[in-house]
Amino acid sequence: MNHAILPRWFRERERSRVFTPDQTFARRVVLQMRPVTRSAGLVWDYVPSFARPMVAATTLLLLALISYQMMSPTPFPDDSSIGIVEAYLGADGTTVDEWLYRGAEIPDGQDLLIEISVAEAFE
């Protein structure tokens, strides 16, 4: 664009109008603003449409596994009845529990095999 075509006074007036807002500019902007209200949407509003079947199937499978776990008895009650904290705090822990949870020193080579076989014999 050639600036020589437009008069200087016109360019200055337009520049001041566009780049330098008047005194009521802030008030007009605030009056035009509306409060933003957000309502909580459903979970499906946030999941893309192509992923909805996968999310639904995964959720149903997870719920099915949790319900099965809650309703069925544990297959190994002796192993699952003792947790990490009980094994660490319990005085009647096995040798393996001492190695895993208490930081006991693990023997080397043949001594390790002997202790494992002795521990298995008494359990």
- 42-79: pLDDT as tens digits: 877 888 989 999 999 999 999 999 888 888 766 555 55
Q: What are the CA-CA distances from residue 15 to residues 1, 50, 78, 115 (Å)?
A: 15, 49, 84, 90
Inter-residue long-range contacts of 88-95, CB under 8 Å, 24+ positions, other chains counted: 94/119, 94/123, 95/119
Retrieve residue 93's tokens. Answer: 């822990």
Give the position of tokens 């393996």. Answer: 96
The pLDDT tens digits for 85-101 are 665 566 665 666 666 65
